[in-house]
Amino acid sequence: MAKMKIRGKDLIKLGYPEGKVVGLAINSLYEHHRRQSREWGLAMLKNILEHPRNFVEDEAFGRVARELIGAEQDQRKEGYYELLEQVKPFPIFGEEQIEEGAKHQMFTAMRLPVAVDGALMPDAHQGYGLPIGGVLAVDNAVIPYGVGVDIGCRMCLTMYNLSPSHLREQPEKFEKLLLENSRFGLDTFDDPMDDPVLERKEFKYIKVVKDLKHRAYQQIGSSGGGNHFVEFGTVRLSDPKNDFDLPVGDYLAVLSHSGSRGLGANIARHYTKVAMDKCRLPKVARHLAWLTLDSQEGHEYWMAMNLAGDYASACHDHIHRRIARALGEAPIARVENHHNFAWKEQLADGRQVVVHRKGATPAGKGVLGIIPGSMTAPGFIVRGKGHNDSVNSASHGAGRVMSRSKAKSLISTGDFRDHLAEQGVRLIGGGLDEAPMAYKDIHEVMRSQQDLVDIVGIFQPRVVRMEGAKARNWK
């Protein structure tokens, strides 16, 4: 029989509140059940934590149970909230493509007392708190982790009156353009361009933002790591009555995906902690802690979130301006949309709500957006249909079918290189964790949301740059 050896940190890990009850529980366990195994002891303590009222009269653990009940009552006085017993109903688009973990995260979100409406997009996969691809409308509150860490992450596409044949005939030229005019990860420009967003009043009056201004200046115009990219490709417009008033045909285009860099990440971390301190939820929902909009902290976060979104837009603007200057051409059309954000909107029944789209694209009636596939799969310029059941939303991409670690272990360098060659795509940087095989079939995803968006144009990647300066033998 394993010797019982249980310490305070073991109880904290189980979920016990720090303080008197931890020592009381350990002393009671050793005094009355010293000969039991460690496994038995941990199981018993977990049972007491989850069902303290069952042990109030227990000779060994009665005091522990009563202390836990008292702590629970104190928590309620200090902003503790229970989840609703019933899950508010919500639609799941493309359910057969979505992992159970993402569905369960959405079930939890729809049990929040502030939840009003929601939907799960066909690219959904498990994340932290709200799943990636989750849409959640709440009453008079904002959930920092429901927005996400990369606040205002977005897509931006510019089209040029240039023949896509240039990409086939001079691919090295476009690789060089990307290397010279884009930066990723820790690599930033020696001469970042200035921008009005850096003079915003939030940098003066919100402390966490004020402390990040220098970093924001250094990183402006650059992109993050992971799945962020800048790429040349071709756009095909097939409808003579397209939204850009352009002739039917193929156009050279630039597509970028990035967010608010260190500014947004630090805002998210700071206010998530503030929310979790003020809004205590059961362990399964702790990352869904909210701030009410009429609180000082909620107002601050809302201002900081909007600043981060505008900063992300400025980053894309700099990326596309640099590339346009290098091409010696002005773009003839531009489309931009963001995700990882919260919007004040009105539902069909007239209720005013805050809609969180974590990895979901706004798709209100007539709203243009971009839904990318992968580095070899097509992306789609779309026009929203304003579907009420989806809370005016659509997917933000294809969505992962493999985690990063799984992709690295299952996809070989040779298969990745061969796939790029077969699809005629040149890649600078990147890695196996972003291989196209790690993503869902974008065509299946688009079929699952035909009621949500109309397809306006199709973008095909040709020269792609991600974090990392070398081709790593991908060519």
Q: Per residue in 95-105, pLDDT tens?
A: 999 999 999 99
In a domain, 307, yes or no: yes
**Residues 399 and 310 reside in one and the same domain:** yes
Return the CA Rg of the chain: 25
Instruction: Please report whether residue 389 resides in a domain.
Output: yes
Tokens of residue 100, six digits: 């159970």
The answer to whether residue 141 is domain-embedded is no
Q: Which of 125, 130, 127, 80 is nearest to 106 (CA)?
A: 130
d(CA 295, CA 305): 15
What percent of the chain shows pLDDT beyond 70?
A: 96
CB 351 within 8 A of CB 116: yes
Average pLDDT in the 398-417 region?
A: 93
Annotated catalytic residue, options 125, 287, 396, 443: 396
Cα–Cα distance between 144 and 276 in angstroms, integer?
A: 10
Do 17 and 162 sit in the same domain of this protein?
no
- Are 170 and 35 in the same domain? no
What's the pLDDT score for residue 78? Answer: 55
Asked if residue 316 and residue 409 are part of one domain, the reply reads yes
Asked if residue 414 belongs to a domain, the reply is: yes
Q: Helix (H, G, I), strand (E, B), or coil: what is residue 470?
A: coil
Report if residue 433 sits inside a domain: yes
Residue 229 annotated as lining a ligand binding site: yes
Same domain, 73 and 180: no
What percentage of the chain carries pLDDT values higher than 90?
81
pTM summary value? 0.83
Q: What is the pLDDT of residues 181-212, one digit of tens each?
A: 999 999 999 999 999 999 999 999 999 999 99
Active site residue 338: no
Residue 361, pLDDT above cutoff 90: yes
Among residues 56, 77, 98, which one ends one of the domains?
Answer: 77
- Quick one: 63 and 153 in the same domain? no
398 is in an annotated binding site: yes
Q: Which residues of 17-39 are buried (b: 16+ CB within 10 A; e: fewer)?
A: beeebbebbbebbeeeeeebeee
Structural domain of 159:
147-465
What's the whole-number mean pLDDT along residues 443-454? 97
- Whose tokens are 């503790």? That residue is 80
Is residue 74 a known part of a binding site? no
Would you state the pLDDT for residue 366?
96
34-64, pLDDT tens digit by residue?
888 888 989 999 999 988 989 988 988 999 9
For residues 60 and 195, state if they share a domain: no
131 is in an annotated binding site: no
End-to-end CA distance of the chain: 59
Question: Cα dist. 191→220, 221, 318 in Å?
Answer: 10, 10, 12
For residues 273 and 406, membership in a common domain is answered with yes
Among 34, 54, 77, give the residue marking a domain's end.
77
Which tokens in the block code for residue 120? Answer: 């799960």
157 plus 45 within the same structural domain: no
- Residue 196 falls inside a structural domain: yes
Q: Would residue 113 count as lying in a domain?
A: no
Domain count, the chain: 2
27, 42, 77 - which closes a domain: 77
* pLDDT band per the 50, 70, 90 thresholds, residue 1: very low
Are residue 162 and residue 48 in the same domain, yes or no?
no
Q: Is there a contact between 21 and 75 (Cβ–Cβ < 8 Å)?
A: no
Residue 299 in domain: yes
Question: Region 214-228: what's the mean pLDDT?
Answer: 95
